[in-house]
Structure 1
Amino acid sequence: MHFTTDTPSKKTVVLGLLRLMRPKQWIKNTFVLAPLMFTGLFLDFHSVTQSLIVMILFCCASSATYILNDLHDIEADRKHPKKSKTRPLAQGIVKPAQGIMLLVVLYACLGLGFVFHPQSILVIAGYLVLNLAYSFVLKHQPVVDIFIIAIGFVLRTWAGAEALDVDLSSWMFVTTLSLALFLAAVKRRQELQLSGDQGRKVLEHYTVSLVERYAEMAATAALLFYSLFVMDKHEDMVLTIPFVLFGLFRYWFIVEANEEGESPTDALYSDWQLIVCILCWIGVSMWALWPSAISVAV
């Protein structure tokens, strides 16, 4: 075991609580901003403010999910060679009671958010319930576990649409789902490659070749649906398709050559080319949508 029985300092506990919330993972919640981009409302101050508030609320929800999962898996994490050294609860830096207190605070923030964004909070509540089922039951169900992870990204996008009081387009729904399935399948692939079936019980049901086929299918679907989406709704955004292609190619290269991908966020943070590609995609998208954004703002 790698957890300590020494009493940690207050600073260590505070840092442990922060790590428990996994702020590095908050970048996933930028999916909330996707409707803001594609509706051309990114020049409208009120719309930007509402989207950012909902993104912050989703950060609270995702952190609450991580904490609940760590509380549930604390004993298993203490026996895990990696998690016993990186998870604050498993290390003994943060006590379960402290984790529960932080969890209550996050739920209280979400309850307060209901006053300002009831529709978005209802979507976030769905996310919390889904992840509760995932933590206790569904993460052990093959294929279902991958779809649950992917649906979490779709719910982020849906919450962003609710923040703007617009409908989530069918194109955005299916594109987000496909992209998220790709990331989830790659995550399972890397877990198998690096830890075999010891890391998660569900990995006993998978093989590397199977999840690779899942990833290839999902990546192809994401590219196809995104391309049809921009050509049907935002023809000027066809210039962003090469960046999407490069991003998919580069991500797979990182996974294959650098053995990243078990954590999509770590893969993103560690590769400057992927970061530049995303920034270029954002820049070209804003340029293409600028005329409609100005007309909406006016």
Structure 2
Amino acid sequence: MVDAQSENKAIDLVVDLDGTLIATDLLWESTFQLLKQNMLYLFLLPIWALTGKGYLKHQISLRVAIDPTVLPYRGDFIAYLREEHGKGRRLVLATGAARRFAESIAAHLGFFDAVYATDGTRNLTSAHKTKFLLETFGNVKFAYAGNSKADVPVFNAASEAVVVAPDRAAAKWQRAHSARLFEAPKTNWKTFFKMLRAHQWMKNTLIFVPVILDHEIMNWSILRDAVVAFLAFSAAASAIYIVNDLFDLPLDRQHARKRNRAFASGAFSIAFGLKVSVGLLILAGLLAAQLHWIFAAVLGAYLITTTAYSLSLKRMLLIDVLTLAGLYTLRILAGAAATQIEGSFWLLAFSSFFFLSLALVKRYVELQNTALVEKSRIAGRGYRQADREVVAQCGVASAFAAATVLALYVNSDAVVSLYSYPWMIWPLCPIVLYLNIRIWILAHRNEMHDDPVVFIISDWRSQMVIAIGAALLLYGGMRS
């Protein structure tokens, strides 16, 4: 007599794809990749959807290719499937994803005996999948592995269930039926703040620069406006970081460090990221509404520019670094707009050169750390290995240009009118050179983090010289 466990081993195991086999949703992923190719597809997507969800998935799959080698697979579940396959169990992939995607993943894994997927006329999910599997298997028992509310009808129809990284509905079903469970890796607030890139909010402290240089830091009304502007910019920046990550999923998964990001690794779902992004944009709008309308205009320009950078400009030679430098300068303009302090030509010129140098450092490090064949480019960039020395020369030149602009400013009438002891501002010139040139030397030694702004914020030597510069401004730069 065959025992229950042996009987179950003989049952075909039908496996869901999105959220079960992989920690992502291919419809969302492929939609973002389609829009990255051409944003005009945004107008075609609703037309395809009106014909049916299966037709929508099919049309997208005809225009987008996925790389099955870099997808975030559920490691423990994959190991289980390989073990079952090794014991002779028949494995079937049945998914609501497009057939083209499902077949490429099945071919990569090499242990599925059959593939059933969505095509142009059928969306193989939930009730449709249940009906299809019952018709396909007839009176033969089958087991099913899934993860979501849409899989509950299939769980009920199957003779055995395996629940993988369940959502709330699937978790409730699993507890009620004591089904086998593969839990998802735990996430926490640290993971959430990494998704928001909270450490990048330090860049938005540039909003306070006009307040500090105009000696209004103790003016509580102006300081309040600057704080509100900082919060609005931080919320908007995090919203765009999330969207940027969603567009860059295939590239991030090929990167040694970026593949661990929340969406590339599958720690958070794409749908969750979109909800957070929309919420942050609403929060940024509500905060901006409390300030002068010019700040809202600057914030809008920032959102448009950074979105354009994510979709296109980051792949353009030199345009990318000029845009990055401009985005930093926009933060200073936002501070001036929020507090209604008149912008300084000197400050904007200095900012442009200083941050252009740092943006070029970032590209230099990418070129240094990427192995490329001759005439090939960094993935998602417009640079070749042969460009590295030119990038370095331009970056060092920008560093000296920033120091030169600062020196001309220190010797101008503007400083005389603002400061009692203008000579105490002169050390800022070598401080700026030290910050910039040291970064370039470390980059040349291959000892630089790929984001120089974050490096400056976290490096104790940089913090020390910045503190010295701040002290000079505070004590030597009292208003006359």
Q: What are the residue-to-residue correspondences of 1:61-210 with 2, within 5 Å?
A: 61-85=236-260, 87-117=261-291, 118-196=293-371, 197-204=377-384, 207-210=387-390
Deviation at 1:270, TM superposition (A): 4.6
- Separation in 2 of the partners of 1:206 and 1:263? 21
Q: Which has the larger radius of gyration?
A: 2
1:145-191 CA-partner distances (Å, limit 9, x unpaired): 11110100110000010122122111111110001100001110011
Match of 2:72 in 1: 3
Taking only aligned residues, the RMSD between alpha carbons, in angstroms, comes to 2.1
More strand by share: 2
How has the CA–CA distance of structure 1 residues 79 and 255 changed in structure 2, closer, same or farther, with 3 Å as cutoff? closer
| Deviation readout 1:113-168 (Å, 9 max, x if unpaired) | 23211321210110100011111111111111111101001100000101221221
Matches within 5 A, 1:267-282: 267-282=455-470
d(CA) in 2 for partners of 1:14, 1:260? 28
| Conservation of the 8 A alpha-carbon contact between 2:251 and 2:379 | no
Is 1:229 the counterpart of 2:409? The answer is yes
Which stretch of the first structure deviates more once superposed, 251-260 or 220-229?
Answer: 251-260
Higher relative contact order (CA 8 A, sep 6+): 1
Corresponding residue for 2:47? none
Distance 1:16 1:206, change over 3 A: farther
Give the Å deviation of 1:37.
1.3
Q: Sort the Cα spacing of 1:261 and 1:82 in 2 relative to 1 into closer, same or farther, 3 A.
A: closer
Percent identity, aligned pairs only, is 27
2:473 maps to 1:285: yes
Structure 1 length-normalised TM: 0.90
How far does residue 199 in structure 1 lie from its aligned partner after superposition? 4.4
Letter in structure 2 aligned against 1:31: L
In the alignment, residue 411 of structure 2 is paired with which amino acid?
M
Q: Quick one: structure 1 residues 95 and 149, their matched pair in 2 at CA, closer, same or farther if it must change by over 3 Å?
A: same
Question: What's the offset of the Cα at 1:43?
Answer: 1.8
Give the whole-Å Cα distance in 1 for the aligned partners of 2:211 and 2:249: 38
193-202 vs 226-235, greater mean Cα deviation: 193-202
Separation in 1, partners of 2:236, 2:203:
12
Gap runs ≥5 in structure 2? 1-69, 75-163, 166-182, 372-376, 416-421
The normalised TM-score by structure 2 is 0.57
Contact 1:2 1:84 in 2 (8 A): no
Provide the rounded CA distance (Å) in 2 between the counterparts of 1:249 and 1:79: 31
How much has 1:200 moved relative to structure 2?
A: 3.4
Rounded Cα–Cα distance in structure 1 between residues aligned with 2:405 and 2:341: 20
CA contact (8 A) 2:252 2:264 kept: yes
| Larger proportion of helix | 1
SS of equivalent residue, structure 1 residue 79 = coil
- What stretches of structure 1 of length at least 5 have no aligned partner? 293-298
Take 1:27 and 1:242, find their aligned partners in 2: how far apart are those partners? 23
1:227-286 Cα deviation digits (max 9, x unpaired): 111221223422322322322233223323352141114422452111101111111111
